[in-house]
């Protein structure tokens, strides 16, 4: 088996308690699932204090050192499929796309057969066949399936690296529009850490152990009777960050059935990537995309 990397993690801040090895690992690597680490244990790829862990329920405690070997990912070819999306702007290095709600950015384990933006890129642009990454060519960030709005996509390997670094170094300003329940303060900051939910692995949580820092700023643009339209700026880009943060302060996003409740006003979370601003190769770029019809319709009904 080809190993991509081996990572060592020291057991700290357990408050004197023992913890299952799979729970410990998903708290440190929230991008993976519990079943994934249980599989690694079964394959003999997890060690505690230099001894191979043989049971998924093995308990670690303060002072232990855990070594995890991650197998190299099996690359798959993404087929070209016709997918509708609007291109706001493009040059030889990147494009800015208005992603419609309902479109997945790249293939996922939960929806392996669904058409994705990557499928559409492969169909529309032949140069995407030149990317070494056959699963996520050109992708430098993403939006949730049911979040609409602006998405930046690289058109070559060099620009993909450069744009990825801009996001990593938090040099891309992202502004969203959201409709939230109730009336939050006129403006504010939310800085709860975010990590994988302890029992529902498809969800994120602001109370997760060993969460990662997440920072969100917001400003109310308009109050309605029972809802508010807010402008949201995120400094970090954690999974489901805006949805989790507003749920955490008691103002869930309209239509968000994962962290809130379904709504008759809109069939998805009322969240739209509204503006994006960044500097690339010494030139400044700024784009704005009005929310789609279903978002506007929900506002008209409030």
SS3 26: helix
- Give the list of residues 6+ apart from residue 257 with CB closer than 8 angstroms, or none: 269
Q: What is the b/e burial string over 86-122, where b = at least 16 CB atoms within 10 angstroms of the residue's CB?
A: eeeeeeeebbbbbbebebbbbbeeeeeeebbbbbbbb
31-36 long-range Cβ contacts below 8 angstroms, 24+ apart = 31/239, 33/201, 34/201
| Residue 67 falls in the annotated catalytic set | no
Q: For residue 212, give the DSSP letter.
A: B
Phi, psi of 219 (to 5 degrees): -145, 130
Distance CA 283, CA 136 (A): 26
In the set 84, 133, 144, 294, the catalytic residue is: 144
Residues carrying an active site annotation: 144
């Amino acid at each position: 088996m080809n190993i991509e990397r081996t990572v060592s993690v020291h057991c700290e801040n357990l408050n004197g308690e023992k913890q299952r090895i799979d729970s410990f690992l998903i708290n440190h690597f929230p991008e993976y699932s519990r079943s994934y680490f249980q599989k690694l244990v079964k394959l003999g790829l997890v060690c505690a204090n230099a001894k191979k862990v043989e049971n998924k329920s093995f308990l670690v405690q303060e002072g232990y050192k855990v070594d995890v070997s991650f197998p190299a990912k099996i690359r798959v070819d993404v087929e070209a499929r016709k997918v509708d999306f609007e291109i706001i702007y493009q040059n030889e290095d990147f494009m800015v796309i208005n992603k419609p709600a309902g479109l997945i950015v790249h293939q996922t384990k939960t929806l392996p057969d669904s058409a994705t933006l990557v499928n559409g890129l492969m169909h529309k642009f032949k140069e995407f066949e030149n990317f070494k990454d056959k699963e996520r060519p050109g992708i430098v960030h993403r939006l949730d399936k049911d979040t609409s709005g602006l998405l930046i996509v690289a058109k070559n390997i060099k620009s993909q690296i450069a744009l990825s670094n801009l996001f990593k170094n938090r040099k891309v300003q992202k502004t969203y529009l959201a409709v939230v329940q109730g009336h939050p303060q006129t403006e504010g900051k939310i800085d709860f850490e975010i990590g994988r939910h302890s029992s529902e692995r498809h969800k994120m949580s602001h109370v997760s152990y060993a969460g990662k820092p997440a920072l969100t700023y917001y400003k109310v643009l308009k109050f309605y009777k029972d809802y508010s339209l807010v402008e949201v700026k995120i400094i970090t880009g954690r999974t489901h960050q805006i949805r989790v943060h507003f749920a955490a302060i008691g103002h869930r996003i309209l239509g968000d059935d994962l962290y809130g409740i379904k709504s008759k006003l809109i069939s998805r979370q009322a969240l739209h990537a509204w503006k994006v601003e960044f500097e690339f190769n010494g030139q400044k770029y700024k784009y704005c995309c009005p929310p789609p019809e279903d978002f506007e319709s929900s506002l008209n009904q409030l």
